[in-house]
């Protein structure tokens, strides 16, 4: 991990850029872009950032294309993650990706994604990278541009120190984390889990190496750092052996692992620098890491045909088995309700709730509340989806209304989940998210109660109509109700003689 290398980057160009609206007075101006490369590197700052020059879009090339044709010099570790960002002339990030050194050396084209939630199509960055030998390093230091040289001045800064035994132990553990991170990345690539922030891996590596550098210099740091280090190593020790089995079926938790590793690394770096603000100390990524680890490594429950109720497994730790059972039941309802789209829509909406409830909140009680209400609705819908069960028009209307309510609530849940994907919104809007999710839970319970009441009313009216027909048949034809096989003669139901009367409540 600590082997250092220098690389030549020939940044050729970028194609597939979207058009940027300009003001009428600037109709002749073309937008400009520049590329920034960031990596973890040796030195007291542990960080390298080099930028290309700004180039206009569509000049000497086709529209939607930028041509730089520049040579940049980047010094980093052999296992560094290279964070690549494309900025507009106003320094706004537009596109980005995060790649390994191996990918940088072997690929001539890289797909750069739209930044965060910006509505920008993916573009292609064309470049050529090569390893620079030690004998050529001095020549490159002379030829690079002034701004690039300034950002690399600290590469060889810092003095060698003698490591104490505790420091040597800490550096070994931190180095293990850096190696484990590489293995975790490979596992995520195989699982095609690409919906976490692309630069998270780079920043996890950077913050961890920052702590590593301080441990080399035997600098004292906050006692909680050891807990965070232990949490990160324990998580990856537990998750990596099951990367091709359990984690493949729980990819949504894998992205949470990456996010919490980022929070842990960031918190470590801040604590070793002496940070002690209230919001910083309130962060507890080690707890969430432990929860996600349990969710990933817990085997799937054995769910048979006679065990389809989530209520029988609600005792499971952190609701894992509850969720698996709910998904099993709801997927069965969805598959068996193709003939009636409102029922399929309602079941699909509940399936979304069961899938993303734990991404909308870290509060276990709220998650259990959602599972409880979804379980109750799933049991009711399951009866409606049973083969041979006719649905009256009134019953169909009730399912229509339920499906509409669930669709509306899904939109609210999607907004919460989308905001919680942002690290900053998750922490600064946690109280609002809890209140909004509680409102969603309350509305879900109201929808369940409305649907249950509507179905009960339909059933009562149906029973009353059947009773009226039986009474009429008894009166006109003079026949008695048929006795059930297990009934004695004294148990026969006697209907009052007279016209049927239905009392409306």
Helix axis angle, 251-272 relative to 224-239, nearest 10°? 160
pLDDT value of residue 114? 74
Q: What is the mean pLDDT of residues 418-425?
A: 68
pLDDT, one tens digit per residue, over 399-412 is 777 777 777 777 77
pLDDT value of residue 93? 74
For residue 9, the SS3 value is strand
From residue 16, alpha-carbon distances to 31, 110, 467 in Å are 14, 12, 71
Give the pLDDT band of residue 45 (cuts 50, 70, 90).
low
Q: What is the mean pLDDT of residues 78-95?
A: 81
Q: Is residue 393 scored above 60 in pLDDT?
A: yes
Give the pLDDT band of residue 61 (cuts 50, 70, 90).
low
pLDDT value of residue 42? 74
Please report, rounded to a whole number, the percentage of residues in the chain having pLDDT higher than 90.
0
Residue 262: its H or E element:
helix 251-272
pLDDT, one tens digit per residue, over 246-260 is 566 666 777 788 888
pLDDT, one tens digit per residue, over 185-213 is 777 766 655 444 557 888 888 888 888 77
The mean-pLDDT minimum among 59-73, 205-219, 397-411, 451-465 falls in: 451-465
- More confident of the two residues 157 and 74: 74
57 pairs with which residues across the strands? Answer: 66
The mean-pLDDT minimum among 49-63, 154-168, 365-379 falls in: 154-168
pLDDT value of residue 331? 66
pLDDT, one tens digit per residue, over 308-364 is 333 333 333 334 435 555 566 666 666 666 656 677 777 777 777 777 666 666 666
Q: What distance in Å separates the CA atoms of residue 99 and residue 101, rounded to the nearest whole number?
A: 7
The answer to whether 6 and 62 have CB atoms below 8 angstroms apart is no
pLDDT value of residue 119? 58
Q: Give Cβ neighbours of residue 314 (< 8 Å, ≥ 6 apart).
A: 322, 368, 371, 372, 375
pLDDT, one tens digit per residue, over 136-164 is 554 544 444 443 333 333 333 233 333 33
pLDDT, one tens digit per residue, over 206-238 is 888 888 777 766 566 667 888 888 888 888 888
The answer to whether 346 and 396 have CB atoms below 8 angstroms apart is no
pLDDT value of residue 158? 32
- More confident of the two residues 154 and 476: 476
For residue 199, the SS3 value is coil
Q: Is residue 7 scored above 80 in pLDDT?
A: no
Give the helix ranges, DSSP H, for 385-429. Answer: 393-420, 423-428
- More confident of the two residues 142 and 109: 109
From residue 117, alpha-carbon distances to 120, 195, 206, 421, 427 in Å are 9, 12, 24, 10, 18
Q: What distance in Å separates the CA atoms of residue 330 and residue 350, rounded to the nearest whole number?
A: 7
Beta strands in 40-115 (DSSP E): 48-51, 55-56, 65-77, 81-88, 93-100, 109-114
- More confident of the two residues 147 and 285: 285
Give the pLDDT band of residue 417 (cuts 50, 70, 90).
confident
Q: What distance in Å separates the CA atoms of residue 37 and residue 96, rounded to the nearest whole number?
A: 10
Listing DSSP states for 274-310 in one string gives T---HHHHT--HHHHHHHHHHHHHSPPP---TT---G
Beta pairing class for 109-114 and 93-100? antiparallel
Q: Is residue 14 scored above 80 in pLDDT?
A: no
pLDDT value of residue 124? 85
Listing DSSP states for 181-195 in one string gives HHHHHHHHHHHT---
Q: Is residue 418 scored above 50 in pLDDT?
A: yes
What are the φ/ψ torsions at residue 94 (nearest 5 degrees)? -110, -45
pLDDT value of residue 505? 32
From residue 353, alpha-carbon distances to 36, 329, 377, 379 in Å are 40, 13, 12, 15
Q: What distance in Å separates the CA atoms of residue 45 and residue 49, rounded to the nearest whole number?
A: 11
Q: Is residue 422 scored above 70 in pLDDT?
A: no
Domain map (residue ranges) of the chain: 4-151, 165-297, 321-463
From residue 420, alpha-carbon distances to 83, 259, 428, 485 in Å are 23, 11, 10, 60
pLDDT value of residue 319? 40
Please report, rounded to a whole number, the percentage of residues in the chain having pLDDT higher than 70.
53
pLDDT value of residue 182? 76
Residue 42 DSSP class? S
Average pLDDT, the chain: 67
Q: Is residue 112 scored above 50 in pLDDT?
A: yes
Q: What is the mean pLDDT of residues 178-190?
A: 74
Q: What distance in Å separates the CA atoms of residue 56 and residue 32, rounded to the nearest whole number?
A: 4
Give the pLDDT band of residue 466 (cuts 50, 70, 90).
low
From residue 251, alpha-carbon distances to 184, 242, 245, 400, 474 in Å are 13, 12, 11, 32, 63
- More confident of the two residues 268 and 215: 268
Q: Quick check: pTM over 0.85?
A: no
Task: Report CA Rg, the chain.
Answer: 31
Q: How far apart are the first and last CA of the chain?
A: 76
Give the pLDDT band of residue 46 (cuts 50, 70, 90).
confident
Total residues belonging to the chain = 505
Q: What is the mean pLDDT of residues 87-94?
A: 78
Q: What distance in Å separates the CA atoms of residue 239 and residue 193, rounded to the nearest whole number?
A: 15
pLDDT value of residue 479? 55
Here the tokens at position 430 are: 């946690």
CATH number of 4-151: 2.60.40.150
For residue 36, the SS3 value is strand
Q: What is the mean pLDDT of residues 482-486?
A: 45
């Amino acid at each position: 991990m600590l082997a250092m290398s220098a690389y030549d980057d020939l940044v050729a160009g970028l194609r597939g850029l979207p058009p940027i609206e300009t003001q009428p007075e600037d109709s002749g101006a073309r937008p400009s872009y520049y590329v920034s490369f960031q990596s973890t590197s040796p030195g007291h700052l542990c960080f390298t950032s080099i930028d290309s020059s700004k180039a206009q879009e569509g000049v000497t090339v086709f529209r939607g294309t930028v041509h730089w044709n520049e040579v940049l010099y980047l010094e980093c570790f052999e296992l560094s993650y290279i964070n690549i960002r494309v900025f507009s002339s106003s320094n706004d990030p537009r596109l980005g990706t995060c790649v390994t050194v191996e990918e940088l050396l072997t690929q001539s084209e890289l797909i750069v994604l739209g930044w965060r939630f910006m509505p920008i199509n993916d573009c292609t960055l064309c470049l050529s990278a090569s390893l620079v030998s030690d004998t050529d390093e001095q020549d490159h230091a002379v030829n690079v541009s002034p701004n690039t040289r300034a950002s690399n001045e600290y590469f060889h800064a810092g003095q060698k120190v003698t490591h104490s035994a505790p420091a040597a132990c800490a550096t070994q553990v931190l180095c293990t984390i850096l190696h484990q991170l590489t293995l975790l990345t490979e596992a995520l690539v195989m699982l095609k889990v690409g919906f976490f922030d692309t630069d998270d891996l780079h920043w996890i590596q950077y913050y961890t190496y920052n702590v590593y550098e301080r441990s080399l210099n035997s600098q004292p740091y906050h006692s909680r750092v050891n807990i965070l280090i232990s949490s990160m190593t324990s998580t990856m020790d537990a998750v990596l052996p099951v990367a091709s089995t359990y984690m493949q079926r729980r990819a949504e938790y894998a992205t949470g692992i990456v996010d919490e590793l980022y929070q842990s690394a960031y918190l470590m770096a801040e604590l070793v620098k002496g940070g002690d603000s209230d919001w910083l100390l309130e962060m507890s990524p080690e707890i969430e890491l432990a929860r996600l680890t349990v969710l990933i490594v817990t085997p799937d429950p054995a769910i048979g045909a006679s065990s389809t109720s989530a209520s029988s497994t609600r005792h499971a730790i952190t609701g894992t088995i509850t969720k698996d059972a709910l998904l099993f039941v709801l997927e069965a309802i969805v598959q068996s309700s193709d003939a009636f789209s409102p029922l399929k829509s309602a079941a699909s909406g509940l399936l979304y709730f069961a899938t993303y409830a734990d991404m909308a909140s870290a509060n276990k009680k709220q998650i259990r509340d959602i599972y409880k209400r979804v379980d109750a609705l799933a049991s009711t819908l399951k009866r409606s989806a049973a083969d041979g069960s006719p649905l009256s028009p009134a019953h169909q209307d009730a399912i229509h209304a339920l499906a509409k309510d669930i669709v509306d609530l899904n939109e609210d849940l999607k907004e919460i989940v989308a905001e919680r994907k942002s690290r900053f919104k998750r922490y600064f809007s946690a109280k609002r998210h809890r209140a909004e999710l509680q409102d969603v839970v309350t509305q879900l319970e109201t929808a369940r109660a409305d649907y249950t009441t509507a179905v009960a009313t339909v059933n009562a009216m149906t029973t009353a109509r059947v009773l009226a027909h039986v009474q009429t048949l008894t009166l006109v034809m003079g026949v008695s109700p048929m006795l059930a096989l297990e009934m004695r003669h004294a148990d026969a139901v006697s209907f009052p003689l007279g016209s049927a009367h239905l009392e409306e409540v």
